[in-house]
Amino acid sequence: MTPTRRPRLGSRLGPCLAPRLASALALTALAGCTAPRDAANLEPVATGNGYQAQYRDFDTPGDQVYLRAKTMNMERCRASAGGDGSTGKGSGRPPAALAGDVLSRGDLVRVRLIEDTEFSGDYVISRDGTLKLPYLAPIPAQGRSTAAVAADLRQALVAGDYYLDAPDLSVLVMDYAAARVAVSGAVFDPQGLDIGGVPGDQVDTLRQSALGASTEGRNLSVALRGVGGIRPDADLSAVRITRDGTQYTLDLRGMITGHDALDVMLITGDEIYVPSRQCFQDDLMVPSQISPPGVSLYLSNLTQPATANAQSAIGQTVREVPYGTRYMQAVVDSNCVGGARATSASRSAALFSRNPMTDVSVVMERSVEVMRARADRDDYDPYLLPGDAIACYDSAVTNISEVARVVGLFGAAVAISTLP
């Protein structure tokens, strides 16, 4: 009896399936080696007319290399409403109406008169912004200092025939309540918010035992950081505060440079508006009391040899970076740089961002090796903004090896599926 020979894979797959398998494998390899399309953007970021000039495409380097991005950004700036600010020190003093510590509704004050138990006591500034003592007409307190309220109180006691002469008395703040303010304009997260105050489970203890209160929780800087911080296009020379229908203008440039920091105390009902210069200002990309607390990034790193983000150390400590961090620093943080030059050197990384003035998203991709080699790399290294995302891409060698692995697995799976 003549033994039956095992047919070759091609004959077992049949005359139609074998060519299809070969074509599929060829297409898979070709797809793995084909470069993806460049990202398209609605805004002209490639020419340097995006939110940051650092987003633009690489120029061909000449004999002399100049750093132009900062100048390109500033060329689009509107004039500062508060002047050129050449000293960078700001205006120095706030308007008189905003200076000092002032009261707001909900604040707890202690009124003390010598040997007087009738009027001495603790009082909360009413919702209508007045201080109400028994037998006396309400005394305006919202937006006023304790000294001014005490002076009115003395006059009221004399006018009501409770004292012949103005008595010695004091009005002490025992606890500052939270103030509800609204912040809009060139900030990252405009909204109404509560600033100051203490957690509810601590209020009673503090109000019963404290002999004073801190004002820092109700400062302007707290409100600005509470809405994500000022944007790089902000005009800090003319920040507006509207209180009881009156508008005041502050020059806050000193908060960035460390000179004459104007940090006025806010009260409930204040409205803060930060105008925009309609341009990106590199000088504002620094940590400060009114800058964003930091930048939270969205990162993707699926490069070889790492097979998972956990092994790539992409966790909370990597996603959160200081304000002023640049693109390449985050690329290094996400393990997209380094490794074997033969297989890993030609990696690239894409930055996904959003223009906060237009709310239009943009994408730009950089070759890691080009950034390493160019002397003018800083001109193409964007600052990171809150909510940015970075995705890393493998080198061509790694892509080819991955295609070969997939082809091998595919071929093995087909061969196994045809076994008798």
User: What's the confidence (pLDDT) of residue 316?
Assistant: 45
Which is more confident, 60 or 103? 103
The reply to whether 295 and 326 lie within a common domain is: yes
3-class DSSP state for residue 108?
strand
Domain boundary among 278, 302, 336: 278
Q: What is the pLDDT of residue 342?
A: 60
Question: How much is the average pLDDT of 245-257?
Answer: 92
- Number of domains the chain is built from: 3
- With a cut of 80, say whether residue 139 has pLDDT above it: yes
Q: How many C-beta atoms surround the C-beta of residue 414 within 10 A?
A: 16
Q: Are residues 170 and 302 in the same domain?
A: no
Q: Between these two residues, 318 and 68, which has the higher pLDDT value?
A: 68
Check which CATH number belongs to the domain holding 266 and give it: 3.10.560
pLDDT digits (tens, 9 = 90+) for 17-32: 455 555 555 555 554 5
In this prediction, residue 15 carries a pLDDT of: 53
Task: Retrieve residue 388's tokens.
Answer: 């940015």
Look at residues 278, 302, 323 and tell me which one is the last residue of a structural domain: 278
Q: Does residue 86 form part of some domain?
A: no
Ranking 22-31, 51-60, 180-189 by mean pLDDT, the lowest is 22-31
Burial bucket for residue 379 (CB in 10 Å: 0-12, 13-18, 19+): buried
Question: Which of 16-20, 210-214, 221-225 ranks highest by mean pLDDT?
Answer: 221-225
Enclosing H/E stretch for 25 = helix 9-33
Residues 329 and 383 in one domain: yes
- Residue 407 forms part of a structural domain: yes
Do 315 and 395 fall within a single domain? Answer: yes
* Three-class DSSP category at 48: coil
pLDDT at 134: 92
- With residue 365 as reference, give the H or E element that holds it: strand 360-367
Is the model's pLDDT at 364 over the cut of 90? yes
Q: Copy the structure tokens of residue 358.
A: 């237009």
Is residue 234 within 8 Å of residue 185, measured between CB atoms? Answer: yes
Q: Is residue 85 part of a domain?
A: no
Answer for the pair 374, 381: CB distance below 8 angstroms, yes or no.
no
Residue 353, beta-bridge partner list:
362
Above pLDDT 70, what percent of the chain? 71
Q: How confident is the model at residue 317 (pLDDT cuts 50, 70, 90)?
A: very low
The identity of residue 50, as a single letter, is: G
pLDDT in tens, 88-129: 555 557 787 888 889 999 999 999 998 898 999 999 999 999
Burial class of 397 by CB neighbour count within 10 A (0 to 12, 13 to 18, 19+) = middle
- The answer on pLDDT for 313 being more than 90 is no
Rounded to an integer, the average pLDDT of 284-312 is: 73
Average pLDDT along the chain = 81
pLDDT for residue 87: 47
Give 53: exposed, middle or buried? Use CB within 10 Å, 0-12, 13-18, 19+.
buried
Cα separation of 41 and 278, whole Å? Answer: 19
Closest CA to 72 of 281, 257, 251: 281
Q: Which helix (H) or strand (E) holds 363?
A: strand 360-367
Please identify, among 141, 175, 209, the residue that sits at the C-terminal boundary of a domain. Answer: 175
Please, are residues 370 and 331 in contact by the beta-carbon 8 Å criterion? no
Q: Which of 197, 210, 201, 217 is nearest to 122 (CA)?
A: 210
- Are both 197 and 268 inside the same structural domain? yes
CA atoms of 29 and 403, how far apart (whole Å): 6
Which DSSP symbol is given to 180?
Answer: E
303 or 261, greater pLDDT: 261
Same domain? 185 vs 321: no
Q: Whose CA is closest to 212, among 110, 103, 100?
A: 110
Q: What is the CATH number of the domain that holds 169?
A: 3.30.1950.10
Kindly tell me if the per-residue pLDDT of 297 is higher than 80: yes
Rounded average pLDDT over 224-236: 96
- CA 28 to chain centroid: 42
Confidence of residue 9 (pLDDT cuts 50, 70, 90): very low
Domain contains 211: yes
pLDDT value, residue 5: 53
Look at residue 3 and tell me if it is in a domain: no
- Same-domain pairing of 70 and 157: no
Say yes or no: 294 and 343 in one domain.
yes
Residues 398 and 409 in one domain: yes
CA distance 290 to 369: 36
For position 217, what pLDDT does the model report?
83
303 and 406 inside one domain: yes
Span 148-176, pLDDT tens digits: 999 999 999 999 999 999 999 999 998 88
Let me know if residue 82 belongs to a domain: no
Residues 339 and 316 in one domain: yes
Please report which confidence band the pLDDT of residue 213 belongs to, taking 50, 70 and 90 as the band edges: low
Task: For residue 295, give the 3-state DSSP assignment.
Answer: strand
Cα Rg, the chain, nearest whole Å: 33
Name every residue whose Cβ is closer than 8 Å to that of residue 245 and which is 6 or more positions away in sequence: none
Q: Which domain holds residue 132?
A: 108-175
Q: Which residues of 151-182 are buried (b: 16+ CB within 10 A; e: fewer)?
A: bbbbebbeeeeebeeebebebbbbbbbbbbbb
Give me the mean pLDDT over the 58-73 stretch: 84
280 within 8 A of 53, measured Cβ to Cβ? yes
> Quick check: is 213 in a domain?
yes
The 3-state DSSP class for residue 66 equals coil
How many Cα atoms occupy the beta-carbon half-sphere of 161 within 13 Å?
0
Is 176 in a helix, a strand, or coil?
Answer: coil
pLDDT at position 393: 83
| Inside any domain, residue 147 | yes
340 and 364 co-located in one domain = yes
Q: How far is CA 185 from the centre of its chain?
A: 14
Whole-number pLDDT of residue 94: 78
Give the pLDDT confidence of 261-280 residue by residue, as tens digits.
678 999 999 999 999 999 99
- Kindly state the average pLDDT of the residues 200-210: 50
Mark out the alpha helices in 191-326 (DSSP H runs). Answer: 200-209, 220-226, 254-257, 316-319
Residue 242's SS3 state is strand
